[in-house]
Amino acid sequence: MKKKGILITFEGGEGCGKSYQSRVLNRRLVQLALPVVLTHEPGGTPFGEKISKLLKWDDKQALSPLTEMLLFNASRVQLVENIIKPALDENKIVICDRYTDSTTVYQGYARGLDAKLINLVNNASTQNIQPDLTILLDLPVGVGLSRKRKQRQDRFHMENISFHQRVRDGFLDLAAKSPKRWLVIHADQPRNAISGIIWIRITGLLVKSFSNIKI
């Protein structure tokens, strides 16, 4: 079943600024009076937020890559069913801070879980709803981690440098394989420069989907 709205996802490693840029884009679309929903993973629903706490902050027990992948997708099922799919069916723009590509990269490229298994579960959890555009904010690992140093460190922040390098390499590999879907931006630029690059790409997407829009 073809979705009606637009799904825009933001991806990247720790400290890349994707949460900030997703909020900036959301505000800009709201200012244009466009129907937009901003959400995030893991979480986005009351059930998902409980899972997010387990995944990110429960340091009393180690989680296997398979456990992580299944928990992320359990959260995702609820997010898609309760938030993303209804919004798309109403022809809204959905902005999601992380989506299936994060699972492919963190649990696949970085943790070594089988890619075919991840894709199978990801597709089932999303009802095969794919992003129209994925924005990758790419940043050298050391720079990203230094940005997060003063914040409370969750389980993923605390992984070693080689883990985070595999994450970065994984995102770049996915982007290279599907260049039409991905917009890769060097995230060590000023914030307003990044926002401008994103907006140029978004306007083209909006004009195709909203014929009466004035930008």
- Note whether residue 214 is domain-resident: no
Distances (CA, A) of 193 to 20, 65, 93, 206: 13, 36, 23, 20
For residue 215, tell me if it sits in a domain. no
pLDDT at 191: 96
Instruction: Please check whether residue 67 lies inside any domain of the structure.
Output: yes
Within a domain: 1: no
Alpha-carbon distance of 109 to 130, in angstroms, equals 20
Question: Using one digit for the tens of pLDDT, what is the confidence trace for 117-157?
Answer: 999 999 999 999 999 999 999 999 988 888 877 767 777 87
Report the CATH number at residue 139.
Answer: 3.40.50.300
pTM reported for the whole predicted model: 0.93
Whether 123 maps to a domain, the answer reads yes
- CB-based burial of residue 152 (10 Å sphere; 0-12 exposed, 13-18 middle, 19+ buried)? exposed
Q: For residue 37, give its domain range.
A: 6-209
Q: What percent of the chain has pLDDT over 90?
A: 78
Q: How many CA atoms lie within 13 Å of 7's alpha carbon, on the beta-carbon side?
A: 23
Residue 95 lies in a domain: yes
- Please tell me the total count of domains within the chain: 1
- Residue 156 maps to a domain: yes
60, part of any domain: yes
Cβ of 174: how many Cβ atoms within 10 Å?
A: 19
